[in-house]
Amino acid sequence: MNNARLDWNLVQILVHKDWYFMRQALVAYLGAGLLGLFLMSAGSEGTFYAGAVLLFTVLISLGIHLAMATVVQERTQQTLAFVMTLPISPREYTMAKMLANLVIFMVPWLTTVVGSVLVLHFGLQSGGLIPFALVVLTEIFLAYLVVLAVALVTESEGWAIATMVTMNLFFQGFLYLVSHMPGIAETMKGASAVWSPTALGLLMVEMALIAVVIGMTFRRQGLKNDFI
């Protein structure tokens, strides 16, 4: 990968392009996410779980949809050749793809994070669930980045799908493990959040892994020789 300066204007144009194509889907996912938050805050235990499941489903589905639509399909539908005829370097392409995906994913993800905290703390007086919710939502973000990284590096539908399946299976186990973990399990039913070393440690590990995945994606993309 050459070290020439990035053309940020071009990166911005490419980010805007992906935003344009994903805008309608984004509105739909955002709407479903807000519905999930509404259900969570509705009051009964049944609607709370239904809302939580809907929120997780929305975020996981959005991650899969984004990686497939903005990266894998760009190759399978042969629009990558069109993009790569623009005065763009592989590094700018990777930067644009990462930024576009992060920006688009962050809108519903941040809405969910902030909405969950508000609902749990103020709506349901169940602040004890906040550390658990943040650890789980950050795992969804990390899993999405892993899928995106595999999609970008391999540009393979098969590898991307295999990674999605693996990350979703891992998520089920992760939910169970974290909810039974000492330092989290015993404070989950409290009215206010307790930031145990376990909860903080998990969040820090997740953040570090997010940084590693982003760094490795750029590194692997830099070693790539053939773009179409």
Binding site for other proteins (CB under 8 A): 2, 4, 7, 10, 13, 17, 20-21, 77-79, 81-82, 84-89, 92, 225-228
Give the CA count within 13 Å in the CB-facing half-sphere of 36. 23
For 50, residues 6+ apart whose C-beta sits below 8 A from its C-beta are 39
CB of 11 to other proteins, least distance (A): 11
Cα–Cα nearest to 217, from 63, 97, 59: 97
Least separation in angstroms between residue 224's CB and other proteins is: 9
**What is the rounded distance in angstroms from the CA atom of residue 116 to the CA atom of residue 140?**
14
Shortest Å, Cβ 20 to other proteins = 8
Q: How far is the CB of 16 from other proteins (least distance, A)?
A: 9
Alpha carbon distance 199, 206 (integer Å): 11
118/228 with CB nearer other proteins: 228
Q: Which is nearer to other proteins, 94 or 138 (CB)?
A: 94
Q: Which two tokens stand for residue 82?
A: 């069109």
Closer residue to other proteins, CB minimum distance, 18 or 206:
18
Q: Which CB atom, from 92 or from 206, has the smaller least distance to other proteins?
A: 92
Record the tokens describing residue 226, joined without a space: 């053939």
CA distances from 59 to 12, 111, 153, 165 (A): 24, 11, 22, 15
**Calpha distance 211→213 (Å, rounded):** 6
Q: Which is nearer to other proteins, 87 or 197 (CB)?
A: 87
Shortest distance, position 163 Cβ to other proteins, whole Å = 24
